[in-house]
Chain A
Amino acid sequence: MDPTDIGLWGVPLAILGGAIRVSTPFIFVSLGEAITERSGRINLGLEGTLVFGAMTAYAIAVISGSPWLGLFAAAAAGSFFGLFHGWICKFPKVNDIAIGIALMLFGSGLAFFFGKPFIQPKAPSLPAIPFGGWSDIPQVQAALDVNVLFLIGAVLSAVLWWAFRNTRAGLIVRVVGDSSDAARAMGLNPDTVCLLATGVGGAFAGIGGAYLSLYYPGSWTERISSGQGLMAVALVIFARWNPLGCFAAALLFGGAGALGPALQSVGVTQGYYLFYAAPYILTLVIMIATSSPGRSLAGAPGELSITK
C-alpha cells in the first residue's frame, strides 16, 4: 500500500488529531471557568475574553516577533477582564450572568476595534512538539504534533484537580463557593477570593484565545471564534466542576468536532450538517444519560447562581 494512502484510518486519526488540535481552547477556558465557578461566581463573558486574548496575542506577536510574549499579553489582558468582572460583581444586586454577557460584547468589540490593523500581517506561531517521530506515516506525525499549550493544559487539569482537594487555596475557593457565610465565619473575605478566582479564570481564557490565533487555526480574523468561549463555559457544568472532567469534555468536544470533515474526506458526504452537530448531540446525550432527578447536580458550588 502506498504509505500516504491511509483511507478509512483517516477517520480515527482525524478524531485523535482533532481532539488534540481543537480541544486546547476548550481546556483552558473551561479550567479557568471551573476555578471561577468553584468560588461561586459565573463568568459568561469568557467568550469575549477569548476573542480579546486571541487579538492581543496575535498583535503582540506581530509587533514583538515573539509568540510567547503574545501569550503572556493575552493572559494579562484576560486576567484584567476577569478581575473587572470579579470586582463589579462584588457589589450587591449586580447580576454576574448579565455582566458576563455585557462583557462578552465589550471584549469582542474591543478586539475587533483594535484588531483591524493585524488582520493582514502574519504572526509567528507557538511551537509544537513532534511526538509522532516513531511513525513514518506523515499523517500520524501530523496528528501527533502536539502544541505545548495542550500539554500544559493536561498537566494543569491534573494539578487543579489535586489542588482543589489537597491544598489550602483549593479548600478556600471551595468553601467560599459553597457558602459565603461559612467562609466569613472562617475569617475569609469571599469577595477577595471571588475576585482572584475570576481573575485567574480570565487569564486562562486569554491563553485559550492565544492558542486560537497563534497556533490553531493560527490567524487573527474577526471570525476566529465560533462560540468556543461560551461553549467551554457550558462544558464546566457538564464536567461537574471537576478539572479532570473539563479536560475530558474538551477532548470529547474536539474529537467529535473532527468527525464531520473526516467523514467527508473518506466519501461519506450526505448529511454533513448533522455530523457537524455531533459534539452538541453527544454532549447532550451524555448529560441526559448521566443526570437523574433524585440527585441534583453533584459538585455544584452552593453559591452559584446558575444552579441554585
Chain B
Amino acid sequence: MAETVSNADVPMFGVRGYPAALERVARRAEAFVIPVAALIVGMAIFSLFILAVGKSPLQLYEVMWRGGFGSWFSIQNSLSRAAPLLLAALCVALPARLGLVVIGGEGAIVLGGVAAAAAAMAFNGAPSFIVILVMGVAGMAAGGIWIGAVGALRHYRAVNETISSLLMAYIAIALMNQLVEGPLRDPASLNKPSTQPLAEAYRIGNIPGMEVHWGIVVGIVACVLSWVLIEKTRWGFAARIAGGNVKAAQVQGLAVGPLIVGFTALAGGFAGVAGMLEVAAVQGSANASLAAGYGYTGILVAFLARHNPLAIIPVAFLLGGIEASGGLIQRRMDLPDATVLVLQGMLFIVILFSETFYGRFKAFNPDLWKRSDHLKRIA
C-alpha cells in the first residue's frame, strides 16, 4: 500500500529525474481524477439499472444534463438548490475536523429561521440593512447555541454528540411548530401557519443579473472562511490535533473544551444562517417548510467532500444539479421521483468507495515513481 512508502525519503524539491511541477500536478490530479472516474463508473452502474427497468440511459443522461447543467437556466436552478446545502454541510464538516459526528443540523436551520423571523418582527420599521443584519445575527445565535450545546454536552458531560444532535433536531422542529402555530402565528396565514411576512424591504433578493439569491454567495464565503480557519489559523491547527487525539491535545496544553464548543457553535451558526436565508430570501416568513431536509442532505455533502470546506462547493453544486434534473426525469421519462434517490445512492456509494484508491495509483504518486525507477535500476 501507498502509505507504506516512507515519507522520510521524499526530497524537498521533487523526486530526482522528474520536474517538480509535474509532481505537483500529479499529486493534485489525484483528488480530481478519482472522484470524476468514480462519478462515471457510478453513472455506468446506474445505466444498467435504467436499462433493467426498460428505459434508455442515454435519454436519461441527456435529460439530466439539460435539467441540471446544460443551460444558464439549469445552472441557476442547480445553484439555487445548492445554496442552503453549503451552510448545512459546514455544520457537519467543522465538527468533523474535531472528530465529532454531528447529524442534527436540521434543528439549527429551523431554529435559525424562527429566530430570524422573530427578530424581524421585533425590529420592524428599522432601516433594512439593520434588520437584515439583526436577522442574520439572530439566526446565527440560535443555531450556534443549539449545536454549541451539543458540543458542550459532549465535552463536559460526555454525552455522545451524534445522538444528542439528532434528538435536538426533533425537539427543535417541535419547538418551531409550536411557535409558528402558537404565539408567533400570523392569523392571516390561514392554511399554512407562518409568522408575519417580512416587509419587501427586509427581503434578500437575487444577485443582479441572476435568478439566484445571495445565499449562494454567503455560502461560498462561509466555505472559504472555514477553509482558512481550518488550514491557516492556529485554532484550525489545534482542532486538527484534538480531532486526532484529545489526550495528546490536552497534554500539549490545548484548551480542548472551548475549542469543541467554539467549533460546534460556529457550525451551528452557519446552519442558523441557512435558516435565516430561507426566511429572508425564499419563504418571506418562518413556517414548517424550514424543515425541508437540508440539514440531512448536508451530512451527505460534507462526507462526500471529505469535510474539506472548499470541496463542499462543487459537491453541493453537483447535488443541486441532480435534484434540479430530478423533475425533468419525472416529466420526460415517466419515472417516479424515487429514481433520483436511487441515482444519488448509487453514485455516492461508488464515490465514497473510491476513497480506497487514493494513494494506490502510481500515476498520482511520485514517491512510487522513484521507487519503481529504483527497482528497475537494481534489476
Contact = CB atoms under 8 A, between A and B. Distances in A.
**Chains A and B directly touch (beta carbon < 8 Å):** yes
Interface of A: 48, 88, 91-95, 97-99, 101-113, 116, 222, 230-231, 234-235, 237-238, 271, 273-274, 276-277, 280-281, 283-284, 287-288, 291-293, 295-297, 305-308
A102 B338 contact: no
Nearest to B160: A237
A99 B349 contact: yes
Interface of A is mostly: helix
A142 B340 CA distance: 41
Interface stretch (B81-89, B220-228, B296-304): B296-304
Given A105-B300, A113-B338, A292-B157, A95 B345 contact: no
B164 A287 contact: yes
Given A113-B339, A271-B178, A273-B178, A234 B352 contact: no
A88 B339 CA distance: 23
B337 A288 contact: no
Contacts of B352: 94-95, 98-99, 102
Given A93-B356, A274-B178, A106 B349 contact: yes
Given A103-B345, A306-B101, A94 B164 contact: no
Contacts, number: 144
B177 interface: yes
A175 to B, nearest CB: 23
Interface string B153-168: 1011111101110111
Interface of B is mostly: helix
B156 A293 contact: yes
Which are the 8 A-B pairs with shortest beta-carbon distances?
Answer: A106-B345, A109-B341, A112-B338, A277-B174, A98-B303, A109-B342, A102-B348, A234-B163
A293 B256 CA distance: 13
Given A230-B166, A271-B178, A108 B341 contact: yes
B168 to A, nearest CB: 7
B348 A291 contact: no
Nearest to A227: B170
B14 interface: no
Contact of B349 (A88, A108, A276, A307): A88
A249 B303 CA distance: 29
Interface residues of B, number: 46
B167 A283 contact: yes
B168 A113 contact: no
A47 B318 CA distance: 24
Contacts of B160: 237, 287, 297, 306-307
A173 to B, nearest CB: 21
B73 interface: no
Given A112-B337, A280-B170, A91 B353 contact: yes
Given A93-B356, A101-B299, A108-B341, A277 B304 contact: no
A295 B159 CA distance: 11
B29 to A, nearest CB: 18
Interface in B1-57: 1
A93 B3 CA distance: 12
A254 B232 CA distance: 48
B99 interface: yes
B171 interface: yes
A54 B338 CA distance: 16
Contacts of B175: 273-274, 277
B342 A98 contact: no
Contacts of A237: 160, 162-163
Contacts of A109: 338-345
Given A98-B304, A101-B348, A293-B155, 19 more contacts: A92-B356, A93-B358, A95-B355, A98-B300, A98-B303, A98-B352, A106-B342, A106-B345, A109-B343, A112-B337, A113-B339, A222-B338, A231-B166, A235-B163, A237-B162, A271-B178, A273-B177, A281-B171, A291-B159
B346 A101 contact: no
A112 B326 CA distance: 15
B186 interface: no
Contacts of B158: 291-293, 295-297
Contacts of A103: 345, 349
B211 interface: no
Contacts of A234: 162-163, 166-167
A98 B300 CA distance: 7
B57 to A, nearest CB: 15
7 contacts: A104-B345, A108-B341, A109-B339, A113-B339, A271-B182, A277-B174, A297-B160
